[in-house]
Structure 1
Amino acid sequence: MKNVIYLRRSRKVVVQPGRHVLPDKYMATALKNIEYLGFTFSRPLMEALRTLSVEEFTAIYHQLVADLKSLLGANVNFKPMYPNFPEQVMLVSQAELYLNAIYHYITLELPEHETIERLPLLDQVDLKIIDLGSQEDFDQTIRNLIAANGSISEQDKEDIEWVIAACDDLGAVLPDEIPLKENVGFVVGALLKYNKASLGLVGQYVKTATDVLRLAVALSDGDVSLAANTKFRKFKRAERRLLLGLLDRCGNIVEDMLRYKHRWIRLGEISHPAEYKNRYAHCQEAFDILRNNKPYETFNGKVELALRRKDTLLAAALLKTRAGELARRLDHLLRLSGDALQVMDRFAEVADQVSTPVLLQVMAHFSHRQEMRELRTFFPKGNVAKAMAIPNTLPGIHPDACAAVVDICERTLIRRFSELPPLGTVYIDESLKQYLMPFSQRSASKALRTIVRGSRVKMPEGDTIRFFLWWKEGMVNGKHTGRVDIDLSAVMYNKNWKYVEHISYTNLRSDKYKAAHSGDITSAPQGACEFIDLHIPSIVRYGGRFIVASLNSFTEQPYCDLPECYAGWMMRQAPKTGEVFEPSTVADKIDLTADTQIAIPVILDLVERTVIWTDLALKQHPYYYNNVEGNQKGMVLMGKAMTTLTKPTLYDLFTLHATARGRKVEHADEADTVFAVDRGVTPYDISTIMSEFVV
């Protein structure tokens, strides 16, 4: 399992050197076989594998192939309705397409088609290198995850939990501090689950009442972001004592508890603080205030009163004691204030107390504040990847005030980063301007390569994008899903987001440009698949620019209730050669496991030839049938929102680090530290970025 995690996260494996000499034919055969999957070995990995016995090498090879196939989605049999796709769909008459669809809808059987032998794959594929790793590097990978200064995904949590369960030396993976409170609740919960926690170890991480609440939520398998309510399980007496003991040590807890008043009342009903009123009198008093609605003046109440009276100087003076809150409310204060200079002076006095993620976001916000874009886009906290877009109606702020805020943030960050170890000479790839900074990954789906929503990935060479979808119906948690029909669609828009056309089960091919769907399969007891081919030059010539890839659960099961469902895309230079699904051409694959029925994994910008990573869910109840026609309004809104985001980029972040603790150079070969898309620290090294650079 360790190498499964390591391969997925870092494209590395750990191999313990042996004392044998592996015959060349085994190494050559293995390399040739994994080329089919688009991978090869680095020289250090080959040298380590050559020291193994045939039996040891064979065991590692078979496991590696199984893991790679699973990552790519190549571990299943892709059998589309039209096996000779795409040419077959383009040549068959509309009448035959219609009759085949009706036959399938009535019988759930696929029409019989003779499979024509396909030419071997003619596409030139750049092989991805699997490198030799080490136990120390693997431990550091997990340590970086735990120490991330931003929320982590469900897949990240699964990896951390496995390591905590299997690790004998927790000191190798547990950092001295866990900056993000959500991660505190999850990690401490995992330590308790596997009986690896002491009060001293837990106490160093749990510092506030909300930390204790997150821990109780984690022990109940709930949402540690606290975006959703959790049904608390019954706690053992020892667990109740631990929760109350930790809470009692947290100082002034009442105001913190009032933020989640009703959840604390429910937790109090389960933890029975009155039984320990003598031991934990502080807790008993706090629960008494919550349960009996006793008056208690809160900090936020004072701030809101000042804002209602438009006394921004008083509000700013209060917020100075909580620098992060002052930073988050700075735009509001500057809009209300008649004396922006005094507000900024107060912010400047406490800017060094504001966390790095907040400073970076404030700096990016005010850098683009004058642009007055059409939409403001938010990503609500929670485990489902949703986005909210609203009209941008913010009143203006004087440009000098915006520039001053940016300057304060920038100078504060440079001072902070200058205290870190020097980087030497630094190369920063200009392409990193297209990759957004990671702050919140809690709702990120498991993917072959995970990057931040809104980031733009350059398309590989080739003229045809091929989307693919695979799903299966069956038993989940002892209950059968029933018939499952997931639909793959691609909607085309022009540069102004005006609808052009769509390719879906309702329109299997275009008469205006080269685009085709492999056929609508509506049941998947053995698994089912769908494909869409889009020929980029012909679409652009016709006036198309944006393509929104959409996945719709027509039978209305949420993806989290399916045994398996994933989608992805590949770039094909010669789409009529090779198999319909060629693992070596897979650019990315994303597992669909969210509690939603509609997903938008990517948006394509065909003019700029970029893939915009979205990994989003639309609302569960569409306007009409759950298909592409029923969700046009929502798709356009999400498309506009995701293509006009103004968020901090990795280029911004690394430039600040280079200014603070290095010297920029023009060429990567001259640099001690490289930040680039394909070498050094890359956009896919999210845990490293969040733990070592967003500090």
Structure 2
Amino acid sequence: MRTQIIQRTLRVPLASGPRGDGSAVARQLDVALISVGFKASRDLLEHVGGLAPGEAFDLAVEVVTAVRGLVGDHVDHNPYFRDFPAGVPDTVQFWMRLVRAAEAEDGVLSPRRGAVNLLAFARYGRLQHTFAEMLAEHDALVDSIKDRVTVVHLGGPLERELTSLYRALAGSATPLDAADLTLLGELAVACPDVPPGPMPVRENRAVVNAARLRAGREPVAVDSAVDVLRLAYALSGGDVTLVESTRFRGFRRQERRALMAALDAAVAADTGVLGDVNRYAGRFKRLGERLHPHEYPAFPRAQDVFAVARGERTVTSLAGQAEAALARGEVGRAAWLLTESPGMLLRSLDRLLRTAGAESDAVLSATNSVLGSVSGRVLCSVREHLANRSWTALARVFVNRAGRPWVAPDTRVPLSPAVVEAVCGMVDVELASRMPSYERLVIDPDVLSVALPLSGKASEGGFAVLPRGTRTPVEGGDLLRFFTYWRQDKRRTDHDLSALLLDEDFRYVGHVSWTNYRDDGAVYSGDLTEAPNGATEFIDIPLDRITAAHVVPQVSVYSGEDFTEVAESIFGWMVRDRAQHGAPFEPRTVRTRSDLRGSGRVALPMMFSRGADGWTATWLHLYLTGSPQFNQVETQRATTGKLTGVIANRRAMTVSHLVDLLAAEAGSVTAWEPGLRFTEPVAFVGLHRPEGLPEGSTVITLDRLTELVPR
């Protein structure tokens, strides 16, 4: 848990060991952190320096280990060609050398005919040098003021840090990804007596309530039948998002009674929740087989749920009533029916506005009447959606919860700019009414271009990872270097790093991969085909020389375990000046490092595009289905080109929009610059917490950007 806190928040929980003189260890800690692109805050160095040497050393090791893992420096990154990028040969010439070497060893000098299996060569895909031998081929990294420096701060006592992280995850205004949901469950177990506070996301409620039930406590904030279904899934170790079905385990009598009581209370509060049962009728029937409803006559309303699931009682859902009204052409009536479920109305708004015709005013009036009852996340999502509906797009991109995209033609007619402006104006008024008021607001300009994190499923774990749709400038050097690292678990696994090169219209112009080591100045580090102890592949992109307009890195599962099965799989990128030299992997030059844990066989973490103002990075977090085996960048180039072209033309709602609403209510607004100092607490919004903010300041950084989204 201490390591999780350090990696997620860059805050080090206070050590409670004996006091002493740990000043020497503190100095060593600072040097070690600088070598991997971090810096200890003054408070952290003073805390380490005030501990006994043994305690100080243990804490320092913990901090350095955590941040090294954060940027991917916890393993050795050894490329196939040890003097990469200088010594990478021509692809075909390299293959022919392997053939001739094999022929010489076999005593066969005539050229081989037909297909050649590269894996049959002992030298192919397996390192022929040690990590130390590789390092000896490279000059030391030359220091640069452009190298990344990230501050690590001193936190509070471990219990307080755990409680803060628990409440932040439980109270997130947006859905969490799988890793965060797992951590939330662990924190709920570790903090059984801590009230979680408001939990607007139902998946979070299920995870927290499962921990509460196991600890003998009553579930909280359960207000629908589907909430109880999610809770039963959580107790069974299943998918609380309900995307995947789960086999229910046998429940203890206490758990059965609690689930039945929660169902009964939800139906008693609103019989309309019975309309949601039909959507999951099969799952409710299986749940009923585990709960034995007939044993609980004290909960008759809960038994109604299972009667609906079995078809013994007919309930028309609100969505069904609205569909019937639309079928009759009564768009206004459909809108007013949906006011009973404000979130459903907002999610149906595009369709309603497209078909409203003369009833547009009725739809707008119904919408305005429910805005105060809709979550801030839905408001932001609707505004982002409508902001892209005033023109005709060539295609639409849909992305599911697993990051799987698909592209479909956009056959919708554009919405009237006047209607879009009217709805966006109403939404902005509602959002502004929910924004907190700060006396002194400090904004780091680097955060303004970040896409609002409207779902944790639109991102990945890692370091400096930004939400899908975010566009940020690529600064700090003229050489961009991608890397991927994987470590197989149970069977031989080959992941391949490649880069697709596209022109201004997102048409294929080239690629670099294991089939083409060099193209348009880009260089591939060589193919590694197994990873029992881990393997790393690199690609260099010379930003000042390459002619392609767009570069899309891709990680493919060629054979073996996919991203969810391997022991570890990561992607990242570095920026450096060519004069800096250094080893292929230098932690100080790592700008981001993200986990690869999607369910597809081809990962598209991001793309890089050249514009009038230089290069920008756009975060994708997408996983293509791919093929069961032998995925290559060449076979995905049409899909990837079309997909990235559509995404590039879509405008995401960014942090700057909500910051503008915050600024309108703030007493004063200051743009952050290094070296600024404040004497009184401020509200700071930025990617990373700067050093020297006064005690009592409100700090919203990358790990807590969801707090900007109003509840």
TM-score (norm 2): 0.88
User: Could you say which residue in structure 1 is the equivalent of 2:110?
Assistant: none
Whether the aligned pair in 1 keeps the contact of 2:166 and 2:188 (CA below 8 Å) is no
Structure-2 change in CA distance of 1:548 and 1:444 (3 Å):
same
Equivalences for 1:67-146 in 2 at 5 Å?
67-89=66-88, 94-100=92-98, 105-109=119-123, 110=126, 112=128, 115=134, 116-124=136-144, 125-135=147-157, 136=160, 138-146=162-170
Aligned residue among 619, 625, 637 for 1:632: 637
Alpha-carbon distance between aligned partners in 1 of 2:627 and 2:525, rounded to the nearest angstrom? 27
Amino acid of the residue matched to residue 527 of structure 1?
A: G
- Choose 30-39 or 547-556, whichever is displaced more: 30-39
Aligned residue among 282, 297, 302 for 1:283: 302
Deviation at 1:490, TM superposition (A): 0.6
Whether the aligned pair in 2 keeps the contact of 1:22 and 1:52 (CA below 8 Å) is yes
Whether the aligned pair in 2 keeps the contact of 1:457 and 1:612 (CA below 8 Å) is yes
User: Could you say which residue in structure 1 is the equivalent of 2:590?
Assistant: 586
Structure-2 change in CA distance of 1:189 and 1:108 (3 Å):
farther
Is the partner of 1:211 in helix, strand or coil?
helix
Aligned residue among 187, 190, 194 for 1:163: 187
Alpha-carbon distance between aligned partners in 2 of 1:93 and 1:664, rounded to the nearest angstrom? 56
Alpha-carbon distance between aligned partners in 2 of 1:15 and 1:667, rounded to the nearest angstrom? 28
Q: Deviations over 1:426-454 (max 9, x none)?
A: 34455544211111113633212232111
Is the partner of 2:604 in helix, strand or coil?
strand
Structure-2 change in CA distance of 1:678 and 1:372 (3 Å):
farther
User: Could you say which residue in structure 1 is the equivalent of 2:45?
Assistant: 46
1:487 aligns with 2:502: no
Equivalences for 1:592-607 in 2 at 5 Å?
592-607=596-611
- Percent identity between matched residues is 28
Whether the aligned pair in 2 keeps the contact of 1:122 and 1:574 (CA below 8 Å) is no
Alpha-carbon distance between aligned partners in 1 of 2:661 and 2:446, rounded to the nearest angstrom? 16
User: Could you say which residue in structure 2 is the equivalent of 1:349?
Assistant: 369
- Choose 12-21 or 647-656, whichever is displaced more: 12-21
Structure-2 change in CA distance of 1:244 and 1:50 (3 Å):
same
User: Could you say which residue in structure 2 is the equivalent of 1:238?
Assistant: 254
Whether the aligned pair in 2 keeps the contact of 1:41 and 1:129 (CA below 8 Å) is yes
User: Could you say which residue in structure 2 is the equivalent of 1:365?
Assistant: 385
Aligned residue among 408, 431, 437 for 1:413: 431
Amino acid of the residue matched to residue 642 of structure 2?
A: L
Alpha-carbon distance between aligned partners in 2 of 1:349 and 1:280, rounded to the nearest angstrom? 35
1:335 aligns with 2:342: no
Aligned residue among 612, 619, 622 for 2:618: 612
Q: Deviations over 1:167-219 (max 9, x none)?
A: 36424xx21x21111111111113334x2x412xx1x3211111101101111
Aligned residue among 156, 178, 188 for 2:199: 178
User: Could you say which residue in structure 2 is the equivalent of 1:523?
Assistant: 530
Amino acid of the residue matched to residue 254 of structure 1?
A: L
1:264 aligns with 2:284: yes
User: Could you say which residue in structure 1 is the equivalent of 2:481?
Assistant: 466
User: Could you say which residue in structure 1 is the equivalent of 2:30?
Assistant: 31
Whether the aligned pair in 2 keeps the contact of 1:142 and 1:160 (CA below 8 Å) is yes
Whether the aligned pair in 1 keeps the contact of 2:23 and 2:50 (CA below 8 Å) is no
> What number of residue pairs does the alignment pair up?
667
Amino acid of the residue matched to residue 192 of structure 1?
A: L
Structure-2 change in CA distance of 1:327 and 1:245 (3 Å):
same
Alpha-carbon distance between aligned partners in 1 of 2:312 and 2:61, rounded to the nearest angstrom? 63
Give unpaired runs (5+ residues) of structure 2.
103-117, 691-696
Is the partner of 2:545 in helix, strand or coil?
helix
User: Could you say which residue in structure 2 is the equivalent of 1:685?
Assistant: 701
Whether the aligned pair in 1 keeps the contact of 2:451 and 2:469 (CA below 8 Å) is yes
Aligned residue among 485, 507, 510 for 1:498: 507
Q: Deviations over 1:386-430 (max 9, x none)?
A: 23332322213322222111111111222233xx4x212434455
Amino acid of the residue matched to residue 52 of structure 1?
A: L
- Choose 81-90 or 629-638, whichever is displaced more: 629-638
Aligned residue among 229, 248, 251 for 2:245: 229
CA RMSD of aligned residues (A): 2.6
Alpha-carbon distance between aligned partners in 1 of 2:579 and 2:96, rounded to the nearest angstrom? 24
Alpha-carbon distance between aligned partners in 2 of 1:362 and 1:564, rounded to the nearest angstrom? 36
Structure-2 change in CA distance of 1:57 and 1:654 (3 Å):
same
1:650 aligns with 2:655: yes
Is the partner of 2:518 in helix, strand or coil?
coil
Whether the aligned pair in 2 keeps the contact of 1:38 and 1:126 (CA below 8 Å) is yes
User: Could you say which residue in structure 1 is the equivalent of 2:683?
Assistant: 673
Q: Deviations over 1:527-581 (max 9, x none)?
A: 2221111111111xx2x11111111111153211112222211112137722221
Alpha-carbon distance between aligned partners in 1 of 2:7 and 2:684, rounded to the nearest angstrom? 22
1:152 aligns with 2:156: no
Deviation at 1:374, TM superposition (A): 2.8
User: Could you say which residue in structure 2 is the equivalent of 1:219?
Assistant: 235
Is the partner of 1:487 in helix, strand or coil?
strand
Alpha-carbon distance between aligned partners in 2 of 1:520 and 1:352, rounded to the nearest angstrom? 56
User: Could you say which residue in structure 2 is the equivalent of 1:402?
Assistant: 420
Structure-2 change in CA distance of 1:76 and 1:416 (3 Å):
closer
Q: Deviations over 1:596-653 (max 9, x none)?
A: 211111211233422212221011437x941111111221133123322323211111
Deviation at 1:323, TM superposition (A): 2.0
Structure-2 change in CA distance of 1:50 and 1:665 (3 Å):
closer
User: Could you say which residue in structure 1 is the equivalent of 2:106?
Assistant: none
Alpha-carbon distance between aligned partners in 1 of 2:704 and 2:59, rounded to the nearest angstrom? 27
User: Could you say which residue in structure 2 is the equivalent of 1:477?
Assistant: none
User: Could you say which residue in structure 2 is the equivalent of 1:387?
Assistant: 405
Alpha-carbon distance between aligned partners in 2 of 1:439 and 1:314, rounded to the nearest angstrom? 30
Whether the aligned pair in 2 keeps the contact of 1:100 and 1:111 (CA below 8 Å) is no
Alpha-carbon distance between aligned partners in 2 of 1:93 and 1:349, rounded to the nearest angstrom? 65
TM-score (norm 1): 0.90
Structure-2 change in CA distance of 1:108 and 1:590 (3 Å):
farther
Structure-2 change in CA distance of 1:569 and 1:28 (3 Å):
same
Whether the aligned pair in 2 keeps the contact of 1:148 and 1:687 (CA below 8 Å) is no
1:305 aligns with 2:327: no
Whether the aligned pair in 2 keeps the contact of 1:18 and 1:51 (CA below 8 Å) is no
Alpha-carbon distance between aligned partners in 2 of 1:433 and 1:43, rounded to the nearest angstrom? 28
Alpha-carbon distance between aligned partners in 2 of 1:132 and 1:440, rounded to the nearest angstrom? 29
Is the partner of 2:463 in helix, strand or coil?
coil
